[in-house]
Structure 1
Amino acid sequence: MPKVLISDKMDPKAAEIFRARGVEVDEITGKTPEELKAIIGQYDGLAIRSSTKATKEILEAATNLKVIGRAGIGVDNVDIPAASAKGVVVMNTPFGNSITTAEHAIALMFALARQLPEADLSTQAGKWEKNRFMGVELTGKTLGLIGAGNIGSIVADRAQGLKMKVVAFDPFLTPERAIEMGVEKVSLDDLLLRADFITLHTPLTDQTRNILSAENLAKTKRGVRIINCARGGLIDEAALKEGLESGHIAGAALDVFAVEPAKEHPLFGTPNFVSTPHLGASTTEAQVNVAIQVAEQMADFLVSGGVTNALNMPSLSAEEAPRLKPYMALAEKLGSLVGQLAHGDLKNIAIESEGAAAELNQKPIVGAVLAGLMRVHSDTVNMVNAPFLAKERGLDVREVRHDREGDYHTMVRVTVGTAQGDRSVAGTLFGNAAPRLVELFGIKVEADLAGPMLYIVNEDAPGFIGRLGTTLGEAGVNIGTFHLGRREAGGEAILLLSVDDVVSEALLAQVRALPGVKTAMALTF
C-alpha cells in the first residue's frame, strides 16, 4: 500500500480521499527540516502547501519518494531540478483556486477605484469625509492583463461583465484564443500606454521578473491603477512607491510581495496603496478544492499511474495509463536492449511509432525508452528523471510518429547513433498486451525480452547450434527459449536465448571461443 505524508495543514477531505483510494496517509505538520528529513524516507508521496520546503537536502533523504503534490499553484518551495534528478514527479493544482484569485483581483480593483480601505478607516474614526473620497467608475475603462492564462481569462470575463474593455499581453496567447476570450492581444508597450487598470497574472520567471520595472512604469498612462495577485517580484516595488508619491500612479494594490511575510515594507503608509497578506487563494471553497485535487492527483499516480498537472513530466490520465502501460513496458525493454548492445558513446536517439502506437501520447513512450536506455548507467533512473539525465548528457532525442501501418498493427522502433553507426531495434505487442521484439539491427527476429538472456552474433553454418547447446549444457545452464534470425543463408545470424541463470564471464569466454562466433553478450531484463 502506498504511503503519503501530509506535512502542511490541509482540509480533512484530502486524507479522506487518500484512504478511500487505498493509500495510507499520515498527517504530521509543523516539522522542522531536520525532523522532516528523519521521517521522509518512509513515504511514497508528500502533500504540501507553502510551509514545507522540499529542498535538495530533503529530497536526498526521501529514498522512497515518487511524487510531491502542491495544493496550490506556486511551487517556489520545491526544488524541481533536484526532484527531477531524483525521479520524483512534482504536481500542483493550478485550477483549484483560480476563481478565488481572480475574484480577489477584481475586489482589489474596486477597492482602488472607490478608495474603500481609506474611506472605511475615515468613517470608523468618526469622520464623514464625503467629499474627500472621489472615485472612478470601472465601466468604459481599459483593463490591461499581463498574462492571459487560466486566472487572467477569468478576470477578463468578469471585467467584461463590468463593461470594461480588455487588452492583453501574453506571448503564448494565440489570435484565436484572444477572439474566444473577447480581448485584444497587444504588445506590452501598447498595454502600458492604453490601460487605466493593470492586473498581473503571470508566473515569476527570468523573463517576467520586474516586468513592471521603473522604465515600464514610466510608460504607463498617468492615473493608472495597478493590481498584483500573482507573484511578488513582478513589480519594481521601489519604483512603484515613487510613482504613487509623484501621483503618476493613482493607486496600487498588492496581495503579494518580493519578500514574504511582508511585516514591514517601504510601501506601507504610502497614499493610495492597498495591501493584503497573500489572500488570493484564501477562501473556504479554494482550500477545499486544492486539497481534494492534490489528493486525487497523487492517488491516481500512486495507484494507477495517472499523471495530472505535473511540472516535470507529461500528463497521463488515469484512463489513459492502462492503455499505455503495455507500450511503456515495450518501450522500456527496447531502450534497455539497445542500451546494452550499442557500443561507444551514444550521439542521438530516435523513437519512432507507427500503427496504433502512433495514435497514443508519445511522451510517456519516449520517457520509458530513455529510462530503459539510461538504466544501463544508473540504477535510480526512471521515466521522470530519464529525459533530464539525457538532456544533461547532451543526448539528442527525436520523436517520430508515422501514420502508416506496416507488417504489424502497432510498432515502436528505437534507433541510436553511435561512433560505429546507427543501431536499431523494433518491437510490437502481441494481443495488445505482450511486448515482443521483432527486429534487431536490421534482422527479423521474434523474441520475448525477459530475465537473463544471451545475445550471440555468429556465422550461419551447420553445427553451430549443437556446439552452443553442448557448451551451455556442460556449464549447467538451461535454455528457456531460443530465438534465431539471419540476414541470408550462410550469412550473419543472431541468436537470443533466455536462460535460467545469469551467464558468467567465464562461460561467455567459452562461447566467444566457439568457431563462427563474432559477438557474445549477457543481457538482463
Structure 2
Amino acid sequence: MAPKVLVSDKLSETAVQIFRDRGIDVDFQPDLGKDKDRLAEVIGDYDGLAIRSATKVTEKILENAHKLKVIARAGIGTDNIDKVAASKKGVIVMNTPFGNMITTAEHAIALMFAVARQIPEASASTHAGKWEKSRFMGTELTNKVLGVIGAGNIGGIVCDRARGLKMKVIAYDPFLSEAKADKMGVEKVELDDLLARADFITLHVPLTDQTRNILSRKNLEKTKKGVRIINCARGGLVDEAAVADMLKSGHIAGVAFDVFEVEPATDSPLFGLPNVVCTPHLGAATTEAQENVALQVAEQMSDYLLTGAVTNALNMPSVTAEEAKVMGPWIKLSGHLGSFIGQMTDEPIKAINILYDGAVSQMNLPALTSASVAGIMKAVNPEANMVSAPVVAKERGIKISTTHQDKSGAFEGYIKLTVVTDKRERSIGGTIFSDGKPRFIQIKGINIDAEIGAHMLYVTNNDQPGIIGALGQTMGTNDVNIANFTLGRSTAGGEAIALLYVDAPVPQKAIDALRETGLFLQIKPLQFDIG
C-alpha cells in the first residue's frame, strides 16, 4: 500500500504533484490545519504530515498519530511542532533550512532602504495629497557602517549585498573565524565595538538563551546617536520598549521590524512612532521562497517514506535502520559531547578534532561526527541538525578532523572530542557503559565517571578542603536537589572539577552564592537533551 501524506496547510500545486508523481497517496486539505480538533480526528490515517506555520502539531494531536512517521515543515521554523512529543512517538521532524535564505536577506536590505529614506511615511503622505518634500530628509547607505549580528547563512548574504552597496560591514558572531571574515570581506568585531560604530544594525541570529534581548536597554545605550536598527530574525532579540523610548529621545533615528516579541503583533510600543517601519513577518514571503521550500518538503518526505533516506531531520540521525540499533547510544553520546563543548565555548572555533577508539571506530563515523558537530552548533542555533551543522561549520571556516584507532585503554570504545580556538583547546571524552547509558569519562584530561542528566552544573576549583561542603550546602540552601555528584582532579592540590547532575535548572541565586564563596574558578550551568 502506498504511503499516505496529509498536506494541512497551503502548499503549491507543484509540490502536491511531486508526491503523486513519486507514488505517494496525498490528501491536500490546505485549510485543515486551522481546525485542530478535526486534525486530531483524522491524523491517525496518515504516514506523513506536510505543514507550514498555520498547523500546530501539539502533543494532543500526536497522541492520535498512530501511523505517523514524519512531519515536514516547509520553512525553517518549527516552533509550531512539539518536537519532544514527536520524538517520543518516533516521528521524524524535518524542515527546509535553506529555501528562504535569499528572500529573508533581501527583505532586511529592503527594510534598511525603507527606514533610511522614510519611504512608508513619505508614501502615505503623498497618497494623502500632501507634498512634504522637506519633511522626509533621508540618509545614504553608501559609506555607512553596517553592523551585522549573526553572520551565518542569512547574515552572510546580507553582508554580501551590503558590500555591493558600498557599505562598510562589521560583524559580530562568536562562531565566525578571522579567515572566514576575511573571505567574506567583513571586519570581525566584538559586540560592544559593533554597537559603538554601526550606523545601521541588522540582526540575523536565532532566539536562544544567549541571544535573547541581545539589544537590551543597556546595549542600546552603547549605540551611536542616530543609529537605525533592522530585525528580520526573531522577536525577543530587541527590547522594544527601550527602542520606543530611545526613538522618542532622538537617540535612535529609526527602526524596521519584521518580527516582534509577541505575534501576531496587534499592539507594540513601537506602533505609531515616527520612522518605524513594520511588516507582519514577511521575511520568507516571496513566491520563489514559498515554491522552493514546498518542493523541498515534497522531495524530502517522499525520499524518506519510499527509501528511508533522511534529510534535514531535527530529531533523528542520518543512519540506516540496521546501524541505528547499534549506533543509537553512541549518536546520543556524540551529541552530548558536542553540547558540552558548545555550551562551554563562547569564542570562535577554529577546529574540531574527534578521536574514535576501539569498537566505536568501526561504526558509521560520519554520522557520529555530524552528531557531535550538531551538538556544538546547537549552542548558538537550536535549529542545527546532523545534516546542516557540518555545512554551517564548513562555511564558517571550522576544520573538522577525525582519527580512529584500535582499543587503547580500559574501555571497549570511547570518543574524545576536542575543539581548538585562538585562546585554548577544550576536550571531553565519553563512552557507553554496559547499561547502554552514555557517560562523561574525561574533561580537560581529568578522569571522571559522570552520568549525564538534563540539568547539570560544572565547576572548577583548586583542589582544597571545603569544596564538597560548599557545593552541597549552597545547593541545599537554594532548594537544588543533587541526583549525582562527580569529582575529579589532576593532582593533589592541583586543578579539580565537579559535575553535578541536578533535578531542575540551577537558579541564578545559587550560582551567585557559589561565586560569593570565592572558592570556584569557573561555574557553568548546563542543559542536555536526554530524550
Q: Normalising by structure 1, what TM-score?
A: 0.64
Q: Which residue of 2 aligns with 1:141?
A: 144
Offset from partner CA, 1:195-237 (integer Å, 9 cap, x none): 1101111111222121111111111111000011111111111
Out of 57, 60, 72, the position equivalent to 2:60 is 57
Note the C-alpha offset of 1:334. Answer: 12
Letter in 2 for 1:275: C
Q: Does residue 15 in structure 1 map to residue 16 in structure 2?
A: yes
SS across alignment from 1:168: strand
Q: 1:331 to 1:236 in 2, by over 3 A?
A: closer
Instruction: Give the counterpart of 2:114 among 82, 99, 111.
Output: 111
Out of 29, 35, 38, the residue aligned to residue 35 of structure 1 is: 38
Seen in structure 2, the aligned counterparts of structure 1 residues 148 and 218 have a Cα distance that, compared at 3 Å, is same
Selected match of 1:352 from 359, 362, 368: 359
Query: How much does 1:417 deviate?
Result: 3.0
Contact kept? 2:232, 2:257, Cα under 8 Å? yes
Q: Is the 8 A contact 2:257 2:278 kept in 1?
A: yes
Q: Could you tell me which residue of structure 1 aligns to residue 287 of structure 2? A: 284
**2:433 aligns to what?**
417
- Partner amino acid for 1:8? D
Aligned to 1:214: 217
Aligned counterparts of 2:370 and 2:148: Cα–Cα separation in 1: 35
For the residue of structure 1 that corresponds to 2:433, the secondary structure is strand
| Paired amino acid for 1:19 | R
Match of 1:236 in 2: 239
SS state at 1:5 partner? strand
- AA partner of residue 232 (structure 1): G
- Count of residue pairs brought into register by the alignment: 363
* Rounded Cα–Cα distance in structure 1 between residues aligned with 2:365 and 2:285: 42
What is the rounded CA distance, in whole Å, between the counterparts of 2:371 and 2:145 in structure 1? 47
The percentage of aligned residue pairs carrying the same residue is: 62
Question: 253, 275, 281: which is aligned to 2:256?
Answer: 253
Once the two structures are superposed, the pairs formed by residues 44-193 of structure 1 within 5 Å of their partners are 44-193=47-196
TM-score (norm 2): 0.63
Tell whether the 8 Å contact from 2:172 to 2:190 is kept in structure 1 after alignment.
yes
Q: Are the structure 2 counterparts of residues 331 and 162 from structure 1 closer, same or farther at C-alpha, using a change threshold of 3 Å?
A: closer
CA distance in 1, matches of 2:173, 2:414: 39
CA contact (8 A) 2:357 2:413 kept: no
Aligned-partner Cα distance in 1 for 2:370–2:305: 16
CA contact (8 A) 2:229 2:256 kept: yes
Look up the equivalent residue of 1:29 and give its one-letter code. P
Secondary structure of the structure 1 residue equivalent to 2:228 = strand
Q: Say which SS state the counterpart of residue 296 (structure 2) adopts.
A: helix
Please say if 1:362 is aligned against 2:365. Answer: no
8 Å contact from structure 1 (residues 222, 249) kept in 2: yes
Tell me, yes or no, if the aligned pair for 1:196 and 1:223 is still in contact at 8 Å.
yes
- Secondary structure of 2:312's match? coil
Separation in structure 2 between the aligned mates of residue 295 and residue 21 of structure 1, nearest angstrom:
9
Amino acid at match of 1:352: A
Measured after TM superposition, the shift of residue 94 of structure 1 is 1.4
Query: 2:330·2:368 contact (CA, 8 Å) conserved in 1?
Result: no
Q: Does the CA-based 8 Å contact 1:2-1:23 persist in structure 2?
A: yes
- 1:150 partner letter: N
Distance, in Å, in 2 between the alignment partners of 1:256 and 1:161 is 26
- Structure 2: distance between partners of 1:288 and 1:65: 25
Residue 480 of structure 1: aligned partner: none
- Once the two structures are superposed, residues 3-41 of structure 1 have per-residue CA deviations (whole angstroms, 9 ceiling, x without a partner) of 111111111122111122222111123332111111111
- 1:286 deviates by 0.8
- With over 3 angstroms needed to count, the CA separation of the structure-2 counterparts of 1:102 and 1:364, relative to structure 1, is closer
Structure 1 residues 164, 352: closer, same or farther in 2, change over 3 A? farther
Equivalent pair of 1:224/1:248 in contact (CA under 8 Å): yes
CA–CA separation in structure 1 for the residues paired with 2:328 and 2:252 = 58
Which residue of 1 is the match for residue 269 of structure 2? 266
Calculate the aligned-residue CA RMSD, in Å: 3.1
Greater mean deviation of Cα atoms: 265-274 or 223-232 = 265-274
**Alpha-carbon deviation of 1:172?**
1.9
Q: Is the 8 A contact 2:46 2:68 kept in 1?
A: yes
Q: 1:110 to 1:351 in 2, by over 3 A?
A: farther
Q: Deviations over 1:321-358 (max 9, x none)?
A: 6xx565456658999xxxxxxxxxxxxx9983446x46
Question: Given that residues 327 and 365 in structure 1 are in contact (C-alpha distance below 8 angstroms), is that contact kept between their aligned partners in structure 2?
Answer: no
> Aligned partner of 2:11: which letter?
M
One-letter amino acid matched to 2:179: E
* CA contact 1:45–1:298 (8 Å) conserved in 2: yes
Q: What SS does the corresponding residue of 1:158 show, helix, strand or coil? A: helix
Letter in 1 for 2:153: N
Q: Is the 8 A contact 1:358 1:402 kept in 2?
A: no
103 and 58 in structure 1: CA distance in 2 versus 1, 3 angstrom threshold = same
**1:402 aligns with one of 401, 404, 407:** 404
